[in-house]
């Protein structure tokens, strides 16, 4: 474990724990809920994050200070991948006006920058500055307006390449994404028909040859919060994969609890909503047979949970 310190720790509010501290794992374990895990945690690595949400206010660009709306000026973050850090100094020097957020994402073929701002349109000076940014930045979007695009950004899931729309959901690191995908593939092995709910761009869909469902992404357009798959829909599948947002999958879990689906694979980024949905599935006869914590959000208090429920 590297024992250098993050120079911004306790200044910016991005991390609760210093991901480079020698006692990082010991500290992070205190956030792990008691869920009868079947194996020890899988640890992510510092310096591998492929996306980050920055902020800009009154000409300053960086992360918010801890418990504040003031900005810590940032042009290099030790928890981010090298490709993002290489372009951060140029992005930080842009003539920022107003306020908003800046999502920077490392894609397969370059860097994508998407801004959500209180000002509807970028000014002429800002547009001129964007044109001078390094060529590694292949797309730059202000609200819904594309200011610059050399090629359309792409994301790769194993051997499948897909287009990356602005602000689409992605796992924070490629390494932990692959770990989760390998686990999902392992526990869907032998299934004849698989459904991937909240499938996003298809992280699990392609590798499992699943039918994907989501509001947004490469699957079948369906809002699973407003219109979950019914028992009749679900009973045609041997295995159902769920990777919902932090709010969980309460309505969908209630339908699953009444179904004949033999196995549910649940990938959760929120232990609280996971426990709620676990109880719902349990009342329907499901037993949690696998539970693995994954330190996917390195430096934060958050844990990812990979779980398998069998009926």
- b/e code 102-126 from CB counts within 10 Å (16+ = b): bbbbbbebbbbbbbebeeeebeeeb
In the chain, which ranges are E strands? Answer: 42-43, 51-57, 60-64, 71-73, 99-107, 110-117, 137-142, 145-149, 154-157, 160-163, 194-197, 211-214, 220-221, 239-242, 263-268, 287-295, 304-310
- The Cα 179–Cα 124 span in angstroms is 44
pLDDT number for residue 12: 86
Q: Do domains 51-155 and 170-310 have the same CATH topology?
A: no
* Residue ranges in the chain modelled with pLDDT below 70: 1-4
pLDDT number for residue 4: 56
Helices (H), 151-236: 174-188, 205-208, 231-234
- The Cα 6–Cα 276 span in angstroms is 36
CATH code: domain 51-155 is 2.40.50.1070
H or E element in which residue 271 lies? helix 271-283
What angle (nearest 5°) sits at the alpha carbon of residue 215, between those of residues 81 and 109? 30
| Residue ranges covered by each domain of the chain | 51-155, 170-310
End-to-end CA distance of the chain: 41
Query: What sign does the CA torsion over 134, 139, 144, 146 have?
Result: positive
> Homologous superfamily of 170-310 in CATH?
Vaccinia Virus protein VP39 (3.40.50.150)
Residue position matching structure tokens 């202000």: 142
Strand ranges of the sheet holding 99-107, from the earlier edge strand across to the other edge: 71-73, 60-64, 51-57, 99-107, 110-117, 137-142, 145-149
Phi, psi (rounded to 5 degrees) for 178: -65, -40
- The Cα 262–Cα 93 span in angstroms is 54
pLDDT number for residue 45: 94
Strand 71-73 and strand 60-64: the pairing is: antiparallel
Tokens for 43, please give them.
Answer: 């640890």
- The Cα 191–Cα 32 span in angstroms is 31
């Amino acid at each position: 474990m590297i024992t250098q310190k993050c120079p911004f720790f306790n200044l910016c509010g991005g991390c609760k724990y210093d991901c480079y501290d020698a006692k990082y794992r010991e500290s992070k374990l205190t956030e792990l809920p008691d869920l009868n895990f079947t194996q020890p945690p899988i640890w992510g690595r510092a310096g591998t994050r492929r996306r980050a949400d920055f902020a800009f206010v009154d000409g300053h660009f960086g992360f918010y200070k801890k418990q504040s709306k003031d900005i810590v000026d940032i042009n290099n973050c030790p928890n981010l991948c090298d490709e993002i850090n290489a372009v951060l100094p140029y992005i930080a020097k842009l003539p920022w006006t107003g306020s908003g957020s800046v999502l920077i994402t490392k894609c397969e073929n370059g860097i994508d920058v998407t801004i959500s701002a209180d000002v509807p349109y970028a000014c002429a000076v800002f547009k001129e500055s964007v044109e001078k940014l390094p060529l590694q930045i292949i797309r730059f979007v202000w609200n819904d307006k594309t200011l610059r695009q050399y090629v359309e950004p792409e994301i790769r899931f194993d051997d499948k390449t897909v287009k990356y729309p602005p602000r689409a959901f992605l796992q924070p690191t490629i390494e932990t994404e692959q770990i989760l995908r390998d686990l999902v593939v392992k526990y869907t092995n032998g299934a004849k028909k698989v459904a991937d709910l909240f499938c996003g761009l298809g992280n699990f869909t392609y590798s499992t040859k699943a039918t994907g469902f989501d509001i947004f992404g490469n699957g079948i357009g369906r809002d699973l919060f407003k219109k979950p798959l019914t028992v009749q829909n679900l009973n045609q599948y041997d295995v159902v994969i769920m990777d919902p947002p932090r709010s969980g999958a309460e309505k969908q879990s209630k339908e699953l609890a009444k179904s004949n689906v033999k196995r549910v694979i649940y990938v959760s980024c929120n232990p609280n909503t996971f426990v709620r949905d676990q109880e719902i599935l349990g009342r329907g006869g499901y037993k949690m047979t696998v539970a693995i914590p994954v330190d996917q959000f390195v430096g934060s208090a958050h844990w990812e949970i990979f779980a398998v429920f069998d009926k």
